[in-house]
Amino acid sequence: MEQLLRAELRTRSLRAFGSPGAGYISEGRAYDTDSGAVFVKVNRRSQARQMFLGEMASLEAIRATGLVRAPQPIKVIDLPGGGAAFLMEYLKMRSLSSQASQLGEQIADLHLHNQKLGEKWKEEESTVGRRAEGAEPQYATKFGFHTVTCCGFIPQVNEWEEDWPAFFFRHRLQAQLDLIEKDYADREAQELWSQLQVKIPDLFCGLEIVPALLHGDLWSGNVAENDEGPIIYDPASFYGHSEFELAIASMFGGFPRAFFTAYHSKIPKAPGFERRLQLYKLFNYLNHWNHFGQEYRSPTLGTMRKLLK
C-alpha cells in the first residue's frame, strides 16, 4: 500500500500518524507527505470505486459553493486485489460542540445556494445585455445529481426528475424497499408500504420545493469542527428537498439544539414539516435495515405506522 501511495502522491516521504480509523463502511489512515498531510480511505468492496467517485463529486460540489468547509479531494485509485482508496486533504478535527450554531447557519446557506443562483439567473434573464446569448444556467432546475452517489455502500440512482415526490418515491423509498423485499421478503413491510405509498403525495400538497444541494448523509459522525470552523465530510450529495437533510441529523443524537435553532432561523419550518420529517426518517431506517440487519426492522415498521395514522 505505501509503495502505491508514494507513486500516486509523487512523494518520497510517507509517514503514517495518528490511529487508524475504522468506520462502519471504510477504514482510514492519515499520512505526512512531501506536500502536506493527506487522509486515505480504503474499502475492499467491489463497488468501492463507484462509492468513492460519488463521494469525490459530492465534495467538489459542496466545496464549489464556498459556504461550508469540507476536505479537498485528491484522487481515487484502484487497489491490487480489489477495492479502492480515496485520497483527500487531511483536516484536524474534533467533535462538533461550540460551533454547532455556525454549522446550522452554513448548512442553511448551502441549502439556499441553488435557489439564490436561480433568482440571480432570472434577474439577469430579464435584464437586456446582462448575459451572453445561449449561456446555460448554472443552477439545478431538477432533482438528482450528475453521478451515482452511495449512502453507505448502497448505490443511489440520481437520474434527474422535475418532481421531488416522484424522485424521492422512486429512487429513495422504493429502491430501499426493493432491497428489503429481495433480502428479507418481509410481508408486514410490504403490506404497510402498499397502504403508505398512496398517502405520500398528500404530504407535499401546496408545497413549493426548490432543488437544494444536500450533503445527503448528515449524521453526527460526518460533522466536526476545528479552530477554523465547522467541517462536513463523507457526503452522498444530490439536489433534493432541504428537509430531507434534517431527518438523519435529528436521529441517533449528536447534534446540539443550537444547530437546529440556527438552521431554522434562516429556513423556517414549512406547514407539515414534522410529518414529512417522519417520512424522511423512514428512508434512513430502511437504509440502516439494509446495511445492518433486522435490529432496524422495528423502528422502520413503527415509522410506517406513525405515518399511516
Which residues does the annotation mark as catalytic? 217
CA–CA distances in Å: residue 103 to residues 114, 244, 282, 308: 18, 17, 25, 34
Q: Which cell numbers in the block locate residue 41?
A: 480511505
Contact status, residue 287 vs residue 153, Cβ threshold 8 Å: no
Contact status, residue 278 vs residue 165, Cβ threshold 8 Å: no
Contact status, residue 30 vs residue 16, Cβ threshold 8 Å: yes
Contacts of 188 (CB under 8 A, 6+ apart): 301
The candidate with the shortest Cα–Cα distance to 176, out of 204, 155, 202, 148, is 155
CA–CA distances in Å: residue 214 to residues 164, 177, 238: 14, 22, 6
In three-state secondary structure terms, 18 is: strand
Extended beta strands in 46-141, E state: 73-78, 84-89
The candidate with the shortest Cα–Cα distance to 216, out of 74, 98, 78, 59, is 59
- Entry field: residues in the chain: 309
Strand order in the sheet with 73-78: 14-22, 27-33, 36-43, 84-89, 73-78
**Residues linked to residue 226 through DSSP beta bridges, in sequence order:** 229
